[in-house]
Amino acid sequence: MLVWKLDRPGRDLRHLVNIVHDLTEQGVGLKVLTGQGAAIDTTTASGKLVFGIFAALAEFERELISERTKAGLASARARGRRGGRPYKMTPAKIRLAMASRGKSDTNVSALCKELGITRQTLYRHVSPTGELREAGCKVLAQRR
């Protein structure tokens, strides 16, 4: 199998190694024309060695990135930080929504537009009578 660059045939290194293994079982070699893997020709012993070294280094790098990411997330959690997108509803918005929904003449579309939320978000946090729902209680209880 002839490829222009080593990054073309596989999604990631593990997928590429599996492809090369399957090709080898069928008696087909892999030869890279250009790029960082230009010295790779899996029909020769030195090409197999270079491919194996690249595979091992890429796997090591992947594991190292994973470890660092996990350590960084754990460190952030220990400092009280949480990841993810910020909530649209803030305690101030909930209090405004509760006051507005308690009035019968409230236009829900206008209220949602003013708060910058969707109807679903409003209904999830505040009932039509202006009472707080479970999701609203969670937002008011959190300290972000």
Tell me the per-residue pLDDT of 11-27, one tens digit each, with 9 for 90 and over: 677 777 888 888 888 98
More confident call, 53 vs 14: 53
Domain range for residue 65? 2-78
Tell me, yes or no, whether 71 and 95 share the same domain: no
Give the phi and the psi of residue 64 in degrees, each rounded to 5. -65, -45
Distance from first CA to last CA of the chain, Å, rounded? 55
- Rounded CA-CA distance 125/129 in Å is 12
Residue where a domain terminates, one of 78, 113, 130: 78
Tell me, yes or no, whether 47 and 108 share the same domain: no
What tens digit of pLDDT does each residue of 28-43 get?
Answer: 888 777 666 566 788 8
In this model, does residue 124 exceed pLDDT 80?
yes
- To the nearest whole percent, how much of the chain has pLDDT over 90? 38
In a domain, 66, yes or no: yes
Tell me, yes or no, whether 65 and 114 share the same domain: no
In a domain, 102, yes or no: yes
In a domain, 14, yes or no: yes
Q: What is the pLDDT of residue 4?
A: 62
- Which are the contacts of 91, defined by CB distance < 8 A and separation ≥ 6? 139, 140
> Of 7, 51, 57, whose CA–CA distance to 29 is shortest?
51
Q: What is the pLDDT of residue 109?
A: 93
In this model, does residue 91 exceed pLDDT 80?
yes
Tell me, yes or no, whether 68 and 119 share the same domain: no
Cβ atoms of 30 and 3 closer than 8 Å: yes
Give the phi and the psi of residue 31 in degrees, each rounded to 5. -130, 130
Structure tokens at 124: 């999830």
Residue 40 region by backbone torsions, left for phi larger than 0, else alpha for psi between -120 and 50, else beta: beta
Tell me, yes or no, whether 16 and 73 share the same domain: yes
In a domain, 58, yes or no: yes
